[in-house]
């Protein structure tokens, strides 16, 4: 029997004084099972990032959004941080930390005291995350000196260092060149097949929820697709159900199948 990890109903959220004021996400509902990989797709401004922030407990919401039956708004920050880690889009404002110090921030949940001292396990996890994102040689470099692609990998490594069973990614391949895009997708496909051991000893299958602009990229990592248009769900289902030509044309106002076939012809065109 599949175990639900997220259950949402009548969920509304936005950036007014109350979530229902000028709601961007408008009374939507869906369930996500443990171990699933979900791609959230939709045009700019449709509410993809807003939804991700609500699921991560970053912004308030109205309606219901539960993790393993617990309402997100009722969970203490430390408890929520043991379930969910988020990587948002780059902001452009950073403190003067080294790469390793920045990644180590992902271990704050596990600190044994208020001074934020880390033990051998924390250091091992951070080193593994630096290695898996190709950052070992940049560990002592100030993050203000990095390129956009390098920063993207640093913040991914920090997110991974949190060791949670739910990973929320907002445009994870932004600023990455093709080599690192491919490596990141390979890594995520391995990660989502694993389990995370919780503090009570339970093993929870990893769940990946990502916002993507590139449909081809989403196809490489996701099994289910949540299509959002104007803050409402257009479709939520597998590839065959969700990514029909009709749905994509409604979603983007463009014949996506024709556009992608024409783009493929350009790749194959002989000089």
Q: What is the pTM of this model?
A: 0.89
Q: Consecutive sets of 10 residues in the chain, 271 residues long: mean pLDDT of each? A: 90 81 90 97 94 94 96 94 86 74 87 69 92 92 88 90 95 85 88 91 95 92 96 96 92 79 67 48
- Beta carbons within 10 angstroms of residue 145's beta carbon: 12
Work out the mean pLDDT of the chain and round it to a whole number.
88
Contact between 261 and 255 under an 8 Å Cβ cutoff? The reply is no
Nearest alpha-carbon partner for 146 in 157, 138, 158, 156: 138
For residue 124, the model assigns a pLDDT of 93
Instruction: Tell me what pLDDT residue 50 has.
Output: 95
* Residue boundaries of the structural domains of the chain: 4-90+164-268
pLDDT in tens, 149-193: 888 889 889 999 999 999 999 998 887 888 888 888 888 999 999
CATH code matching the domain that covers 4-90+164-268, chosen among 3.40.50.300, 3.50.50.60, 3.40.50.11310, 3.20.20.80: 3.40.50.300
Q: Alpha-carbon Rg of the chain, whole angstroms?
A: 19
């Amino acid at each position: 029997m599949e175990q639900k990890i997220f259950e949402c109903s009548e969920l509304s959220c936005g950036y007014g004084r109350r979530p229902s004021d000028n709601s961007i996400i408008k009374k939507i509902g869906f369930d996500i099972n443990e171990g699933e990989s979900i791609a959230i797709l939709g045009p700019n401004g449709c509410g993809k990032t807003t939804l991700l922030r609500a699921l991560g407990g970053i912004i308030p919401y109205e309606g219901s959004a539960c993790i393993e039956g617990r309402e997100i708004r009722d969970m203490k920050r430390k408890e929520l941080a043991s379930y969910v880690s988020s990587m948002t889009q780059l902001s452009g404002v950073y403190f003067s930390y080294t790469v390793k110090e920045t990644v180590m921030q992902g271990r704050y949940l596990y600190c044994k005291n208020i001074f934020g001292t880390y033990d051998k396990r924390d250091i091992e996890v951070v080193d593994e995350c630096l290695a898996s994102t190709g950052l070992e040689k940049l560990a002592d470099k100030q993050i203000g000196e990095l390129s956009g692609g390098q920063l993207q990998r640093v913040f991914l490594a920090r997110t991974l260092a949190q060791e949670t069973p739910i990973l929320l990614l907002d445009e994870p391949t932004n600023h990455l060149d093709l080599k690192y895009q491919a490596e990141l997708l390979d890594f995520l496909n391995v990660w989502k097949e694993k389990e995370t051991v919780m503090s009570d000893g339970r093993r929870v299958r990893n769940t990946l929820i990502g916002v993507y602009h590139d449909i081809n990229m989403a196809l490489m990592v996701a099994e289910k697709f949540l299509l959002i248009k104007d803050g409402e769900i257009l479709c939520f289902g597998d590839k065959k159900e969700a990514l029909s030509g009709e749905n994509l044309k409604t979603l983007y106002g463009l014949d996506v199948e024709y556009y992608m076939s024409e783009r493929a012809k350009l790749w194959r065109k002989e000089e």
